[in-house]
Amino acid sequence: MFFWNKVEIYSGTSLKEFTDLRNSLDAAEIKYDYRTKQYSPTHVHNLRHNLVSKADVKYYLYIHQKDYDNAMHLTSNRQYR
């Protein structure tokens, strides 16, 4: 998947939500790409202007833009627990 065809559908720090979304996309046979970014405590400390964050990993989930409507329908019908 090329970067100009990608749409970000999730950006967050919850591993559970990230995993649930990936499982839903797999079940619906929607191809996706993902990446994770781990921040060191000092980096997060500087990034947040002296506010230390509990979350040190951020998850990103991308799909092809042609699958956007299907993925939004799928994710809007999910219930987060």
- pLDDT tens-digit profile of 22-34? 999 998 899 999 9
Q: Tell me, what CATH number does 19's domain have?
A: 3.30.70
Q: Tell me whether residue 32 is in a domain.
A: yes
**Where does the pLDDT of residue 81 fall: very low under 50, low under 70, confident under 90, or very high at 90 and above?**
very low
Contact 9, 75 (CB under 8 A): yes
Q: How many domains does the chain divide into?
A: 1
Residue 79 falls inside a structural domain: no
Please indicate, yes or no, if residue 53 is contained in any of the structural domains. Answer: yes
81 located within any domain: no
Give the per-residue pLDDT at 9. Answer: 92
In a domain, 7, yes or no: yes
Whether the per-residue pLDDT at 6 is higher than 80: the answer is yes
DSSP state of 70: H
Residue 65 DSSP code:
G
Boundaries of domain holding 57: 3-74
The answer for residues whose C-beta is within 8 angstroms of residue 52's C-beta and 6 or more apart is 41, 44, 45
The whole-angstrom separation of Cα 40 and Cα 77 is: 35
